[in-house]
Amino acid sequence: MSSPTPHDSVESDDPVEKIVPFIPFVLPLAGGVLIFLLAFIAVYIA
């Protein structure tokens, strides 16, 4: 009989899984930059 080996040590090559841990840091920074740019445009036009 064959002896089964655990397949838990297989790492995925999915690029999305490499980005997911950084989302909590990148999303607020991108939102802050977007708000700053929109406010700058509003002040410049007014």
Half-sphere exposure of 9 (CA within 13 A, CB side): 2
- Name the percent of the chain in helix, strand, coil, to the closest 5: 65, 0, 35
Range of the domain at 22: 17-45
Q: Is residue 32 part of a domain?
A: yes
Amino acid at 31: G
Q: Is residue 29 part of a domain?
A: yes
Q: Is residue 9 part of a domain?
A: no
Number of domains within the chain: 1
pLDDT tens track for 3-43: 666 666 667 788 889 999 999 999 999 999 999 999 999 99
Distance CA 2, CA 43 (A): 72
Distance CA 40, CA 12 (A): 42
**Which pLDDT score, from 0 to 100, does residue 6 have?**
64
Q: Is residue 8 part of a domain?
A: no
